[in-house]
Chain A
């Protein structure tokens, strides 16, 4: 009881103090929350989300906020631990009264949080990271109830479909080999890739795996080659992908190699160096190569603030868009969490950094903003992740605004 009374006293005191600080007429700020890893191994994801959110909020506040009310970000470090994420979501919503959240860094965290958000907390969440399909396609989604979880990042099934379809339909490969990690993410990815190949009437010509202590992938690569694979699809992170390209280099193997977004950032080039040349990586957005002006502005602002390049641009860019999506709805429908949720399903067009959505960003039964059609396949080219585009002559990348280089479909080399 003393705790509560003490808390109440403190709150009253704080309110009084705020009252004297805030000039008459100014309104209480609108709170947006984030709970994700800000320390530990996954911190690079959380830090990018936080920084992307901050840049968007500061921009909006500089232009007068939302109907005169400022936005503030309240972030918590969940250390990538789902138990902490759940507790912090509760704390942010129930005590801090945030009206919207920008996801988390761990798929397991979002899977744990989703039912609580939908059943109890009822606050809209937009996820820039966390790609497990079931986060947005959750129980509420399946039962046709109000689903509070939205996503501007990758989602699992979509990415697998996109990887397979790109190689089969755009590059004309029919003999696809798989090389996946036996860890959690790799196992899910392997299943998804197998499913999509089957839906294309294909089966993997070789289905290889590796685990954490494989630093030399010679047996796997030779088996894939002997099976006649035209390309290898992979689910893994920077470390394992580096071992794969090192082994390929040792064996002088030039089979096209396609990875999911686990290596979508400069960390891969730093680790693998020139051996990474020609690797394809699927992602939602790349900040390398020629960029639209609004993205350039964001990239420059990031550099100005933090004096470094983005390490995982997808997350920062996604978080930035998440805030602007909230803003769009709040200006139109107000700041009630339920109204924001409903409003998100009704944004007919949106000019974001991830992309310019010329169709409704979300729909009642589609809470993934980035669909398979919007995903981007990139090619690692001299340290840059360049988007692959297509014209009548085939796939190409733009080295700079003037130089267009076509790709050899059989080995992904520049022509």
Chain B
């Protein structure tokens, strides 16, 4: 039993990271059908900024957090304005490339600014593991699970209870009609892109004590998170959390009961199978394609 619980717990902790990043894909997809394919690199940028402010400048983590989120939000606004909007206006799909290009640029810049050797970032609550019965978990892992749940809950309330949230969903359903109804779709598109970037920054702030600060920290995480967003359904933020936690646990259990080498094969096979059975994602409700 210990074997199962310990492995599942550490898997869920990893899954919470996936979920937190994955919801960023959904944020932009909901409004503009645009995906920031380089979201993992934005996570990295958040992590590296955290490293800079926290370790190199000795700023308190509670001040670092809003700084990182604000910086990434503003950068997200700028990136949307200059690397996505021009292509959307021209009716082109080149934004796929340009979001990736921005990500690669970030990695190169990070290597120049911070170097490439992995550097530790001290976890906010220390390294001493917490014991739940026999099962041990790092305080930082607990924080991530909690933060992911809170972030999703907040997002859910935002979508369901606030006017702006409802406007987001309206734009997701049909940008043109929403515009006719007086919703400033242009602003919502920009804000959703920036919000996804800010969320990635938040994720970076949380994961960097576990992953070490280095320019490649977000690349694989971003890919895994993308897979999860697809499995859950890009238009189903709540499902993304469940899928993230579940996928993380599944991965760890496959490693534990079978073999790490087949983990990704099994995981992605399940994803393809899931999509085959339910193309709109496990939690998707099949939003109709816009004309």
Contacts and interface: CB of A to CB of B under 8 A. Distances in A.
A212 B118 contact: no
Closest 4 CB pairs of A and B: A219-B255, A218-B10, A219-B256, A213-B220
B260 A214 contact: yes
A220 B210 contact: no
A13 to B, nearest CB: 38
Interface in B72-111: 111
Interface in B1-51: 3, 6-7, 10-11, 13-14
A238 B252 contact: no
Q: Is the interface of B mostly helix, strand, loop or mixed?
A: helix
B129 interface: yes
A209 B259 CA distance: 8
B119 interface: yes
A222 B214 contact: no
Contacts of A238: 117-118
**A44, A223, A252, most chain B CB atoms within 10 A:** A223
Nearest to B14: A216
A273 interface: yes
Contacts of B129: 249-252
Contact of B260 (A219, A226, A242): A219
Interface in A55-99: none
Interface of A: 40-41, 44, 182, 208-216, 218-220, 222-223, 226, 238-239, 242, 246-247, 249-252, 267, 270-273, 275
B211 A215 contact: yes
B118 A222 contact: no
A275 B83 CA distance: 43
A251 B137 CA distance: 8
Nearest to B257: A219
Contacts of A211: 260, 264
A222 B3 CA distance: 7
A240 to B, nearest CB: 10
A209 B255 CA distance: 9
Interface string B213-233: 010000011001000000000
Nearest to A273: B120
A91 to B, nearest CB: 27
Could you say which of B6, B117, B129 has the most chain A C-beta atoms within 10 Å of its C-beta? B117
Interface in B130-184: 136-138, 141
A215 B137 CA distance: 14
Contacts of B264: 211
Interface string B260-287: 1100100000000000000000000000
A50 to B, nearest CB: 18
A211 B253 CA distance: 15
A239 B7 contact: no
A81 to B, nearest CB: 16
B224 A213 contact: yes
A226 B3 contact: yes
B252 to A, nearest CB: 5
B210 A215 contact: yes
Contacts of A209: 259-261
Nearest to A247: B10
Q: Which of A208, A213, A272 has the most CB of B within 10 A?
A: A213
Query: Interface of chain A, helix or strand or loop or mixed?
Result: helix
A27 to B, nearest CB: 42
B210 A216 contact: yes
A211 to B, nearest CB: 7
A249 B120 CA distance: 15
A219 B7 CA distance: 6
Given A209-B261, A211-B264, A215-B14, A222 B212 contact: no
Contact of B256 (A215, A223, A252, A272): A223
A383 to B, nearest CB: 13
Contact of A252 (B136, B221, B261): B136
Contact of B120 (A218, A220, A222, A270): A270
Contacts of A212: 220
B60 interface: no
B116 interface: yes
Contacts of A44: 117
Contacts of A208: 260
A211 B263 CA distance: 10
Nearest to A267: B117
Contact of A239 (B11, B127, B212): B212
Given A44-B117, A238-B118, A271-B212, A216 B10 contact: yes
Contacts of A182: 260-261
Contacts of B256: 219, 222-223
Most B Cβ at <10 Å: residue of A219, A252, A273: A219
A266 to B, nearest CB: 10
Contacts of A247: 10
B255 A220 contact: yes
B116 A41 contact: yes
A381 B21 CA distance: 38
A218 B252 contact: yes
27 contacts: A211-B264, A212-B220, A215-B210, A215-B211, A216-B13, A216-B14, A216-B210, A218-B6, A219-B10, A219-B252, A219-B256, A219-B260, A220-B255, A222-B6, A222-B7, A238-B118, A239-B212, A242-B118, A250-B137, A250-B138, A251-B6, A251-B136, A252-B136, A267-B118, A270-B117, A271-B120, A273-B120
A208 B252 CA distance: 13
A216 B14 CA distance: 8
B290 to A, nearest CB: 35
Central interface residue in A212, A218, A252, by most chain B CB within 10 Å: A218
B124 to A, nearest CB: 16
A270 B7 contact: no
Nearest to B129: A250
Contacts of A246: 127, 210
A109 to B, nearest CB: 19
